[in-house]
């Protein structure tokens, strides 16, 4: 059995339209929505995509989809997660933050 993919959005008019609902059904997707007026729900994802557009791929044109995919993968796995400091993580990278969280949970 094929697993359904969850698509999360806010309650903007484009995501509450009948056309969007038909698209979701036609592609066997599952829709989830943030609560009304909760603008912070997508803030982390929006911040990430803003950084992605601003930092590595700005003004680049890729010859192939695979080239673009590899560049985005490298940005995430080689820079964003292990190196890029995050204000919300106490100026730690996501990898460092997770490492410290695990150590605290283990009591080390």
In this structure, is residue 49 part of a structural domain?
no
Which residues form the domain of 102? 60-106
Number of domains forming the structure of the chain: 1
In this structure, is residue 101 part of a structural domain?
yes
pLDDT in tens, 41-88: 667 777 888 888 888 777 789 999 999 999 999 999 999 999 999 888
| More confident site: 100 or 47 | 100
pLDDT at res. 96: 94
SS (H, E, C) 24-86: HHHCCEEEEECCCCCCCCCHHHHHHHHHHHHCCCCCCCCCCHHHHHHHHHHHHHHHHCCCCCE
In this structure, is residue 87 part of a structural domain?
yes
In this structure, is residue 76 part of a structural domain?
yes
In this structure, is residue 29 part of a structural domain?
no
């Amino acid at each position: 059995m094929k697993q359904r993919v969850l698509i999360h959005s806010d309650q903007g008019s484009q995501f509450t339209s009948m056309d969007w609902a038909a698209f979701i059904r036609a592609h066997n997707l599952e829709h989830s929505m943030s609560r009304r007026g909760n603008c912070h729900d997508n803030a982390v994802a929006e911040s990430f995509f803003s950084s992605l557009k601003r930092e590595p791929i700005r003004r680049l044109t890729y010859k192939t989809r695979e080239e673009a995919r590899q560049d985005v993968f490298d940005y995430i796995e080689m820079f964003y997660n292990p190196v890029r400091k995050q204000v919300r993580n106490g100026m730690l990278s996501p990898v460092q933050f997770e490492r410290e969280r695990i150590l605290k949970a283990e009591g080390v």
